Amino acid sequence: MLNSNLFWYNLPQTRAVLQLISTLLTKNYRMTEKKYYPIFLNLKGTKCVIVGGGRVAERKCSAIMRTGAMITVISPKITGRITQYKEKGLIRHLRRNYRSGDIKSAFIVIAATGSLETNKRIAEDAISLNKLLNVVDTPSLCNFIVPSVFNRGMLTIAISTGGASPALAKVIRKELQRLYGPEYSGYLKLLKIARSKVMKGINSRKEREKVLKGIVSAIRKGNVIKLK
């Protein structure tokens, strides 16, 4: 039987990449790292412009739509799902190529055209207008990047490698998805109710922290009966 790991290692492309990494490490190569500030944005009611109509733009559209943002998609062609969003009145669609001025009133801009030249032009316009900008697969053009994310109800876990390795971020996300399963959606509902009651009923901050930690521990162990 063919050893898949050995097969992967013996691929010329793989060996070339590993050789390059080895050379860089030997020379004590240092990459310039960007330092990002992690943040969760409230986009409800804000204007978002997504330039592009393919699968990547579709994923961005689906994710941002859940926040309550007002989305405009600019692209001559759009996927079937984006078309459905348009027909339901969930987004606005401009069936044409990007034009300077399209993002003037936008709060956040997503460039997902598949054309580096067009994405660079969008980036130049967005940066000059001080817009929040994400250019898909090109961290060097962005002033914010999108982490690998999953949700369990009110629980949101985001993983980022600073653009260095989206593949690693995806692997870590899958590991955490197994660790924090669907049951956490229910846990958060209980914790929200419990926290509200504790904040109203206990004046001492130290005592509140002690009680809330105990509640978290009880819920994670499935001992919900102890909360009554």
Q: Encode pLDDT of 144-157 as tens digits.
A: 999 999 999 999 99
How confident is the model over 110-139, as a mean pLDDT? 96
Give the pLDDT of residue 224. Answer: 62
Give the pLDDT of residue 17. Answer: 67
Do 113 and 86 lie in one domain? The reply is yes
- Amino acid residing at 23: T
C-beta separation of 65 from 74 below 8 A? no
Do 177 and 190 lie in one domain? The reply is no
Give the pLDDT of residue 162. Answer: 87
Percent of the chain with pLDDT over 90: 74
Residue 141 maps to a domain: yes
Do 71 and 110 lie in one domain? The reply is yes
Give the pLDDT of residue 221. Answer: 81
Do 98 and 167 lie in one domain? The reply is no
Do 133 and 69 lie in one domain? The reply is yes
- Amino acid residing at 128: S
Summarize pLDDT for 57-104 with one digit per residue, the tens.
999 999 999 999 999 999 999 999 999 999 999 999 999 999 999 999
How confident is the model over 201-227, as a mean pLDDT? 83
Instruction: Assess whether pLDDT exceeds 80 at residue 14.
Output: no
User: How far is 226 from 213, CA to CA, in rounded Å?
Assistant: 13
How confident is the model over 215-221, as a mean pLDDT? 86
Do 81 and 135 lie in one domain? The reply is yes
Range of the domain at 55: 47-146
Summarize pLDDT for 50-59 with one digit per residue, the tens.
999 999 999 9
| Residue keyed to tokens 């980022």 | 160
Q: How confident is the model at residue 164 (pLDDT cuts 50, 70, 90)?
A: confident
Residue 35 maps to a domain: no
- CATH number of the structural domain spanning residue 140: 3.40.50.720
Do 153 and 163 lie in one domain? The reply is yes
For 192-215, b/e burial (b = at least 16 CB within 10 A) is eebeeebeeeeeeeeeeeebbeeb
Residue 25 maps to a domain: no
Residue 158's DSSP bridge partners are: 149
How confident is the model over 32-36, as a mean pLDDT? 77
How confident is the model over 24-32, as a mean pLDDT? 61
| Residue keyed to tokens 């003037």 | 104
Do 129 and 216 lie in one domain? The reply is no
Residue 73 maps to a domain: yes
Instruction: Assess whether pLDDT exceeds 50 at residue 141.
Output: yes
Query: Which whole-number Å values give the CA distances from 56 to 26, 28, 50, 51, in the listed order?
Result: 37, 36, 10, 11
Do 159 and 68 lie in one domain? The reply is no
Number of structural domains the chain divides into: 3
Give the pLDDT of residue 2. Answer: 44
Give the pLDDT of residue 48. Answer: 98
Residue 104 maps to a domain: yes
**In sequence order, what DSSP letters do the residues of 2-55 get, joined into one string?**
--HHHHHHHSHHHHHHHHHHHHHHHTT--PPPP---------TT-EEEEE--SH
Give the pLDDT of residue 117. Answer: 96
Do 76 and 94 lie in one domain? The reply is yes
How confident is the model over 122-144, as a mean pLDDT? 96
Residue 162 maps to a domain: yes
Q: How confident is the model at residue 34 (pLDDT cuts 50, 70, 90)?
A: confident
Closest CA to 162 of 75, 32, 48, 63: 32
Do 113 and 101 lie in one domain? The reply is yes
Do 119 and 78 lie in one domain? The reply is yes
